[in-house]
Structure 1
Amino acid sequence: MNTTQTEALISMVAVLGLFVLMVAPAVIGILRDRRLDRQIRRAAAAPVTGPSDQPAASGPARGTAPRRPARAA
């Protein structure tokens, strides 16, 4: 292999590496969207439980502080 071929090979590998770096975020986003779509479809197909299945709330949740309006400084 002479230097011209070596330089061409290095340039081709560099271009392919940059191409992968540019395309990878798009592919990851597409895969993530497909996963979310599957989760949404699965949730839509799941049976909905009514409020009668849950115990009635008798007051505020435990460990929560009452809400207070913000005061101007």
Structure 2
Amino acid sequence: MTGNQIEGLVGMLATFGLLVLMVLPSVIGIVRDRRIDRQIREAQEGRGQGKETQKTQKSSSRSTVPSTATWYAEGRRSKKLVNS
């Protein structure tokens, strides 16, 4: 190999290395987005199956009564609306 060929090879490798450094973050981002999309899709499919089981469950016969904290907070909110 002559000096010119070695110089050309080094230049070509440097150019290829810069190209890889510039493209690598994009490729990593695309792979990450696809992984996240897959996880979201799997979670939605799992949630859809969970809804079917929730519909078949019966609710308890007890009536739900708001807690004291909820009752107190509701009273405070209504007083604030009247005062302002």
Aligned length: 69
Larger radius of gyration: 2
Output the amino acid matched with 1:5: L
Aligned to 1:31: 39
- TM-aligned CA deviation for residue 30 of structure 1: 3.5
Query: What residue identity is the alignment partner of 1:39?
Result: R
**CA distance 1:43–1:15, change in 2 (3 Å):** same
Residue 3 of structure 1 pairs with residue 11 of structure 2: yes
Tell me which amino acid in the other structure corresponds to 2:22: A
**d(CA) in 2 for partners of 1:72 and 1:7?**
72
Please give the TM-score of this superposition, normalised by the length of structure 1. Answer: 0.58
Correspondence for 2:58: 49
Cα RMSD of the aligned pairs, angstroms, is 2.9
The aligned residue for residue 6 of structure 2 is none
Q: Give the structure 2 partner of residue 70 of structure 1.
A: 81
Instruction: Name stretches of at least 5 consecutive residues in structure 2 with no aligned partner.
Output: 1-8
Tell me: CA distance 1:40–1:14, structure 2 relative to 1, closer, same or farther (3 Å): same
Taking only the aligned residue pairs, the percentage that are identical comes to: 12
What amino acid does structure 2 have at the position aligned with 1:63?
A
Gaps of 5+ in 1: none
